[in-house]
Amino acid sequence: MKRTLFLLMLLFLAACGRPSSEPAASDYRETNYAKNGPRFKLLLLYDDRAEEAHVQFDHQAIAFFNKLTVGEGFIVDSTQNLGAFTADQLKEYTAIIALNAAPSREARTLFENYMENGGGWIGFHAAAYNDSRTQWPWFLRFLGGGVFKCNNWPPQPALLELDRKDHPVTRNLPDTYVCPATEFYQWTPEPRENPDIEVLVSLSPRNFPMGLKDIVYGGDFPVVWTNRNYRMIYINMGHGDEQFSDATEQLLFINALQWIVSNDPNGNPLDK
């Protein structure tokens, strides 16, 4: 008996005496390949009837997000018709990624209920487009109050600046970087005026005047922001076929995805 106790004590001491450089168990997690199964589900919303440059982006984005599922880490479904889903079906998705597409009129209430009950949304480019014809007050509040004001044309690269350097979505991005050619939307009133809105990235004033046909001469120009009242992030980029050629942009998109997913009110699926 004494011998057993002695051996147990030796084992305990050996376990305590691991070199301090060895990572603690909480520092890393095992991959979940085929072990825990896919951790969460995303729904991509897109619209093939949109303008050609938006469809180009959407198809590249669908390929991009599908590629991220390698190893069956998560599941990606895509649809052009949110209205085909029931509320219970939609609840299964940790987030909707809106690629240049907003819910149809028939699906507006469904989407509102999804978001008001903890749903996630990552909106790209025209996903936030709204004007006087949109007539959807909830959506305008959700976006932060900004109605489409103007845009640069043609699409072009632009210098971007971080507003927040310590946010999970931006902390590993350069303080300023040139974003590949895209069309940028400016909004009125400017979303930054809304205390619920947190702007993460803006277009640098050093770009002005920006454009050759449609010229933007100045003004506040946020391009990535969140509304603190919702699990959402809006990303202005998403026009044409150049966004996925750039590592910084890809990193921004992955950061946004990781942040939105990890804040799921039902528990962080990445902890599974």
Neighbour-count burial for 51-77, b at 16+ CB within 10 Å, e otherwise = eebbbbbbebbbebbeeeeeeebbbbe
- For Zn ion, the closer of residues 231 and 239 by Cβ is 239
Find the shortest distance in angstroms from Cβ 21 to Zn ion.
50
Q: In 152-266, which residue ranges form alpha helices assigned H by DSSP?
A: 247-262
Q: Is 73 helix (H, G, I), strand (E, B) or coil?
A: coil
Find the shortest distance in angstroms from Cβ 35 to Zn ion.
41
CA-nearest of 68, 65, 73, 74 to 99 is 65
Find the shortest distance in angstroms from Cβ 183 to Zn ion.
4
Does residue number 239 form part of the binding site for Zn ion (CB under 5 A)? yes
DSSP per residue, 248-268: HHHHHHHHHHHHHHHT-TT--
The number of residues that bind Zn ion (CB under 5 A) is 2
Please say whether the beta carbons of 56 and 124 come within 8 A: no
Could you give the count of Cα atoms lying within 13 Å of 140 in the half-sphere of its Cβ? Answer: 16
- Of 132-140, 199-207, 216-224, 237-245, the segment contacting Zn ion by CB under 5 A is 237-245
- For Zn ion, the closer of residues 120 and 240 by Cβ is 240
Find the shortest distance in angstroms from Cβ 239 to Zn ion.
3
Find the shortest distance in angstroms from Cβ 189 to Zn ion.
21
For 94, the token pair is 């940790």
Does residue number 58 form part of the binding site for Zn ion (CB under 5 A)? no
Residues from 142 through 161 that contact Zn ion (CB under 5 A): none
Tell me the residue nearest to Zn ion as measured from the CB.
239
- Of 107-115, 160-168, 176-184, 264-272, the segment contacting Zn ion by CB under 5 A is 176-184
CA distance 218 to 163: 17
- Of 105-113, 129-137, 183-191, 216-224, the segment contacting Zn ion by CB under 5 A is 183-191
Kindly tell me the number of DSSP H helices and DSSP E strands found in the chain. Answer: 6, 11
Does residue number 183 form part of the binding site for Zn ion (CB under 5 A)? yes
- For Zn ion, the closer of residues 150 and 270 by Cβ is 150
Does residue number 47 form part of the binding site for Zn ion (CB under 5 A)? no
Does residue number 192 form part of the binding site for Zn ion (CB under 5 A)? no
Binding mask 200-229 for Zn ion (x = CB under 5 A): ------------------------------
Which amino acid, one-letter code, is at 82? L
Could you give the count of Cα atoms lying within 13 Å of 149 in the half-sphere of its Cβ? Answer: 16
- For Zn ion, the closer of residues 47 and 183 by Cβ is 183
Contacts of 2 (CB under 8 A, 6+ apart): none
Find the shortest distance in angstroms from Cβ 128 to Zn ion.
11
Could you give the count of Cα atoms lying within 13 Å of 191 in the half-sphere of its Cβ? Answer: 31
CA distance 216 to 153: 9
Chain contacts with Zn ion (rule: CB under 5 A)? 183, 239
